[in-house]
Amino acid sequence: MRLFVCVATFALAAASHAAGQMNCDLNAYKEQPGLSARLADGTLEVEWQGAAGAKLRARFGIADGQPVVRELAVMKQGGSWASLGRDLTPDFHVTTGKRRISEQQLQPLRALGRMDPAYLEEQKWNVFWDSPLTVPGVGRVNPGLPRKAEEIRRDSVKYRISGCAVKTDGARIEVAFPGVTLGVFSGRLVFTAYKGTNLLRQEVVAKTEEPSVAYKYHAGLKGFRTDAVSRVAWQDTSRSWQKYEFGGAVNRDPVALRARNRLAIIESSQGSLAYFPPPHKFFFAREIELNLGYVWYRKDDANSFSAGVRHGDREEGYRPYGVSDEQWNKRVGQARSFAQANFALYNAPPGTWQRMAVYYYLSPANARATQTAVLAFTHDDTYKRLPGYQVAVSHFHTHFNEMLSDAGTIDAQPTWLPVFRSLGINIAMMSDFHGDGHATDPGPLRFADQQTYFDGCRHHSDKDFLIMPGEEPDAFFGGHYTMVFPKPVFWSHVRNEGQKFEENDPKYGKVYHAGNAAEELAMLRAEGGFVWQAHPRTKGSSGYPEAIRETEHFRSDRYLGASFQSLPVDQSEKRICEKRCFGVLDDMNNWGEAKYLFAEGDTYAKYPDDDTYSHLLVNYVKLARLPAFDDSWKPLFGALRAGDFFVTSGEVLIGNSAIEGAGAKRTMVADVEWTFPLEFVEVVWGDGDKIERKEISATQHTAFGSQRFRIPFDAAGKKWVRFAAWDSAGNGAFTQPVHLK
């Protein structure tokens, strides 16, 4: 076989030299049924088997150092080849700014005495409150302001390409073109075709050596012919179909489409070409999920157009609300602060290989059928029901109590309720009293707010939807933290002189006035509540939970662990929140007893036309029956305490997992299903000091699969172990650590 590959490589290289156009290295290529590459007439042709019997073809060439997609084509089963685009140029633009740490991070770090410059340099990559493209910036949000216009660069891709390299990796072919410059980045252009699906990924994989780079990118193809394409089609945020048929004037800039599901489709009589970004890793953390328009087209002249994916330059304020002028102005100010001070972009630490991707789906069908095929990858932007599990989310500052008070009726439906229900979520743990209500009142005003809060949660819960009144009190435990109870509990984290820790109020019954960490912990123990560190090692929890690892409350079984959120986003990481989140999880379990990561949103106002799915990860809790609001929620809390839940972006699910065997010879067993082609699975463990992992490539698995993975491991000297699975688009799922006996 090696002799065959060498001969084939020599023959293809010779043919390329003779054609005078292209030289391809095929040393890492291995032909297989349904996945092939060949060089003919100076063009590299990649052909692969798609879904439902379809065949796909991409033909690549080089012209004057520029890569050219000579053709994208599809052939349905029993049909003939249909061209979806010819002589297209990969189009990339990058906007870069300067990364700064936030004052919100610095505040707890100053109090902890952790101001070492090297440590702060590391912590700036965990920033949330940063908006590198906003000049001059908002005072007191970041040090080193005002920003200057010259900090911002906008660059288009430059190519100096002389050849390519073709590699087979499991059930995919990767074609790489070295010689790409994109502003401060340099690297290669890569196309990846996946056997068994109609997906084609286009990306620039590049790095920079510049310090403090934050960036965003646009990616797509230019050169589509208007005489060969009927229209660009998409669904707007109200689910109505829209189209553009190239009858308008030439565009100077990309036309951003606020398309539902982050998806647009180029449609012709021959078929359709859908284009969209990665469903989760494309999106950096924000306070709100307003759809800013993530796909675009641009009519370049009378005969041609371009299309692709993009990010906006800035946030937009959410729709403010409030009956009184005081509340209205308060919400306007909050919306403005989100828009001006929070749009962090991606991290690009020096030397890291950033992946700037766009996906295409080649289809012989019309736009509507193609949309159905593409949305299968995200279960139509919902979290698929899994028998025996409930889908739970936490930490949303929707000001539910205040909205109900404004409306004057407990039965006013909140705008976030249909958002969660349409996503397939059936447990929502809210976090009121975070900039709303009377959070620091010692009793009378706060308890009245809580009564409205509890009644609202009760009234809007249903047979398949439970609203739980949680809070982010940030009072005595250190940093920011989320707190929930297995039933409504009246309490304040202010105790005036003469008030007792526990009292019997004539109107509200048993109430608590916590005055310190010991009393807050005593309340949690008495009522069976849980607390976990919100956004650990960033924002107001910078330096936590390590700062409290020796405290009684952190060591308590009431301290569940920490939250999981896609913050920050670094496109060089293979896992969502790879360094910050999993660093916290693994450290916590090495420090002591079992601690977990619970997926949280930590966002504010939301509406049905928002793009919430892409910004959210969820928890699948092993619980056969959803409790009603007035039932005991103890079964749910028991499942959480046992770690009987997994976290997922939605595209990868872990139906069951267990550790089999005894002594040193153990086996991690996990039932996994996925939509995008799988990338790898892993077993991660700690021994109380260091972290190690066994990573197993899964690139041989095609899209829409399922398998029981059995991974043997040596348990000798290991304290705990966990399992995770990740797909080729950066989506994934992970189980909670199991401590070995």
Q: Give the CATH number of the domain where residue 175 resides.
A: 2.70.98
Tokens at 164, concatenated:
């390519």
- Please state, rounded to an integer, the average pLDDT across all residues of the chain: 95
Overall domain count for the chain: 2
Q: Would residue 683 count as lying in a domain?
A: yes
Q: Which pLDDT score is estimated for 22?
A: 84
Q: How confident is the model at residue 151 (pLDDT cuts 50, 70, 90)?
A: very high
Kindly tell me if the per-residue pLDDT of 10 is higher than 50.
no
Instruction: Render 605-635 in DSSP notation, one character per residue.
Output: ---TTS--GGG--EEEEE-SSPPPTTS--HH
Mean pLDDT in residue range 644-649? 98
Kindly tell me if the per-residue pLDDT of 15 is higher than 60.
no
| Cβ atoms 396, 601 nearer than 8 A | yes
Name the DSSP letter for residue 296. Answer: E
Last residue of one domain, picked from the residues 341, 365, 389: 365
Name the DSSP letter for residue 603. Answer: B
Tokens at 443, concatenated:
């009793």
Q: Would residue 210 count as lying in a domain?
A: yes
> Which CATH number does the domain housing residue 736 bear?
2.60.40.2060
Q: Which pLDDT score is estimated for 445?
A: 96
Q: Would residue 106 count as lying in a domain?
A: no
Q: Which pLDDT score is estimated for 21?
A: 61
Mean pLDDT in residue range 466-494? 97
Last residue of one domain, picked from the residues 365, 397, 423: 365
Q: Would residue 335 count as lying in a domain?
A: no
Q: How confident is the model at residue 321 (pLDDT cuts 50, 70, 90)?
A: confident
What's the pTM value of the predicted model, to 2 decimals?
0.95
| Cβ atoms 279, 614 nearer than 8 A | yes
Q: Would residue 442 count as lying in a domain?
A: no
Longest Cα pair distance anywhere in the chain, in angstroms? Answer: 94
Domain residues for the domain of 223 are: 2-95+155-279+352-365
Q: Which pLDDT score is estimated for 741?
A: 83
Three-class DSSP category at 372: helix
Kindly tell me if the per-residue pLDDT of 7 is higher than 60.
no
Nearest Cα neighbor of 537 from 574, 567, 517, 560 is 567
Mean pLDDT in residue range 451-473? 97
Q: Would residue 722 count as lying in a domain?
A: yes
Mean pLDDT in residue range 311-338? 89
Q: Would residue 459 count as lying in a domain?
A: no
Q: Would residue 374 count as lying in a domain?
A: no
| Cβ atoms 674, 727 nearer than 8 A | yes
Last residue of one domain, picked from the residues 365, 391, 425: 365
**Model confidence pLDDT, tens digit, residues 241-269:** 999 999 999 999 999 999 999 999 999 99
